[in-house]
Amino acid sequence: MQEIGEVHHKAKRGRLIVKLSTKVEPGSILVDFKGRKAAKVVELIGPVANPYASAIPASDREGKDGQKLYLG
């Protein structure tokens, strides 16, 4: 599994804001360290040099600040 970043925070509307360490495409599936689906990337936001991803969480248990996410 390739680490793509970590959860920065959970937005008011329930989406996860993920600080990216590598490039991903909208529609990408993100998984946790056990390989379980954690979220789906909806859009990329922020500056090109330091992007963030807005992702829809797979369940309410997802989204702890600092949680590492991987490309599924």
State the pTM of this model: 0.89
Asked whether residue 72 is domain-assigned, the answer is: no
pLDDT value at position 72? 81
- Exposed/middle/buried for 43, CB within 10 Å: 0-12, 13-18, 19+? exposed
Residues of the chain with pLDDT under 50: none
Is 8 a member of any domain? yes
Q: Is 16 a domain residue?
A: yes
Work out how many domains the chain is built from and give that number: 1
pLDDT of 59 reads 83
Assess if residue 23 is contained within a domain. yes
18/6 Cα distance (integer angstroms) = 6
d(C-alpha 46, C-alpha 51), whole Å:
5
Domain span including residue 23? 2-60
pLDDT value at position 53?
96
Q: Are 52 and 44 spatial neighbours (Cβ–Cβ below 8 Å)? A: yes
